[in-house]
Structure 1
Amino acid sequence: MPPNGPLADFGASWLGWDVVQGCETRQPSLSGLRDITMTPRKYGFHGTLKPPFRLIQTRAIAELEQATSEMAASLAPAICDCLQLTTMGRFLALTPQGGAEAVQQVAQTCVRDLDGFRAPVEEQEMARRRAAGLSARQDALLVEWGYPYVMEEFRFHLTLSGRLPDAAIPTWTENVRRFLPDLPTPFVLDQIALCGEREDGRFEVIHRYKLTG
């Protein structure tokens, strides 16, 4: 989660959900905005490091919080040149430029060190992932880590839309630029957040942790 400030405020407003406060926000008055942000609204403005997972029954949330705290204390902040508005597939996102390998290392540590808390992926979910057409390596990652786009297949991004029609991408790119604040230069990832799914299906921050390694 971006720290409190203009970028976090923009993300909460743009998506219509403040994942830190756990409440809806008023979106900019743009026709169609609520529709194109419906998918990422559930999660709030964030960059995934470890994909969502169900807590295994043999572990408690307090144990997960402690493990996350200890992991964060072992990790050094990741510094990149900047964030940039890009198109990934057919959705819009902010992605790090220059030195993204450091962010990659933080993500890999999160995936690996917290995997003991992840319940096994159900066969129905495995089948759904495979139906998208995975490479042999992505399928192996799905089996090992419960998600196909981790480790070297991972690309850090802060999502700003769902999938857009090709013809609509230029218009929505300009719409984002109208509201986007100055992006941090350099971009420093010096904290992570543990988030959980609420009863209503939305995600909310449980706790933030500074990277102090």
Structure 2
Amino acid sequence: MRYAICFTPPAHDALAVAAAQWLGRNVFSGEAVDLPPIRGMDIQDIAYNTALPRRYGFHGLLKAPFRLPAEVSEATLLRHMMRFAGACEPFDLPALEVVRLGSFCGLAPAVPCETMRLLAAAVVQEFDSFRAPLGEAELERSDPGNLSAAQFANLYRWGHPYVMDEFRFHMALTGPLPPKELPRFELALRNFFAPYLNRHVEVTNLALFVEEEQGAPFQVHSLHPMGRVSARKIA
């Protein structure tokens, strides 16, 4: 069993619904979702190139997948998440845009969001005591030989290379694409997501994702509302 702490919009949010269609899976229910026809794109081609993000579901990663230490229970993790989220103020992300992330495509804020960077850093630090140390095989899968010195240090200190100053908030929508395919998928994504990217994205929950067994799809276990209960009721 592995857990991850992420941001994802609520299940019925228009962006979440569109992302579930693109990826072919609802990350809340785990159910398959049909993608409507997209001009100039083959459905099988999209399915093949979205296999990786489909397994993880639509999300922005804050704390990478981790296993609980033997002495820590899921109930303890849930209680801590409830308290932590309640102490965090909700905020708006700048409008998202389709971007290239190396050989991947995904969504990222059009301008950097310092509030999200600080939230991610706080999550990484706050929940590090809930993370069992990585085994040698897990470290090797992170390909430490190709990491910068800062990323290598993050991997051994925090269990993931792309945290703290190396963090960039994004929501992946493809797996790695051949260079010649990047422009085609980028255009398709821009057209498909255009109706949903003209607004700020409300960050009002932290999501706990769970992988029931190794290699299984990740699914939303629970959403944890941000902000004090009294403040949310007034709002």
Q: Give TM-score scaled by structure 1 length.
A: 0.94
Q: Distance in 2 between matches of 1:153 and 1:112?
A: 14
How far does the alpha carbon of each residue in 1:138-172 deviate from its partner, in whole angstroms, 9 at most, with x for none?
A: 11111111111111101110110001111111111
CA RMSD after TM alignment: 1.6
Is 1:7 the counterpart of 2:15 in the alignment? yes
In 2, the alpha carbon distance for the partners of 1:177 and 1:136 equals: 35
- What displacement does 1:91 show? 0.7
Alpha-carbon contact 2:96-2:110 (below 8 Å) kept: yes
Deviation (angstroms), 1:190: 1.9
Q: Whole-Å Cα distance in 2 between the matches of residues 130 and 176 of structure 1? A: 29
- Alpha-carbon shift at residue 96 of structure 1 (Å): 1.2
Q: In the TM superposition, what whole-angstrom CA distance separates every residue of 1:18-41 from its partner, at most 9, and x where no partner exists?
A: 111121111334420011001111
Counterparts of 1:128 and 1:197, CA distance in 2: 17
> Which digits, 9 at most, give the CA deviation of each residue in 1:28-87, with x for residues without a partner?
344200110011111111111111111211100011111111110111123333111110
Q: Give the secondary structure class of the aligned counterpart of 1:24.
A: coil
* Higher mean displacement: 187-196 or 149-158: 187-196
Partner residue in 1 for 2:24: 16
Identify unmatched segments of 5+ residues in structure 1.
Answer: none
* Equivalent residues in 2 for 1:7-156, closer than 5 Å: 7-29=15-37, 30-31=41-42, 32-156=45-169
The match for 1:208 is 223
Q: 1-side partners of 2:112 and 2:153: how far apart? A: 27
Contact map agreement 1:96 1:187 (CA 8 A) in 2? no
Structure 1 letter corresponding to 2:118: Q
Q: Deviations over 1:156-202 (max 9, x none)?
A: 10110001111111111121123213215223322111010134701
**Letter matched to residue 189 of structure 1:** V
- Tell me what 1:182 maps to: 196
State the identity as a percent. 36
Quote the Cα distance in structure 2 between the aligned partners of 1:122 and 1:9.
36
Task: With the length of structure 2 as denominator, give the TM-score of the two structures.
Answer: 0.85
Aligned with 2:178 (options 139, 160, 165)? 165
Tell me the distance in 2 between the aligned counterparts of 1:35 and 1:195.
23
CA distance in structure 2 between the partners assigned to 1:92 and 1:56 by the alignment: 34
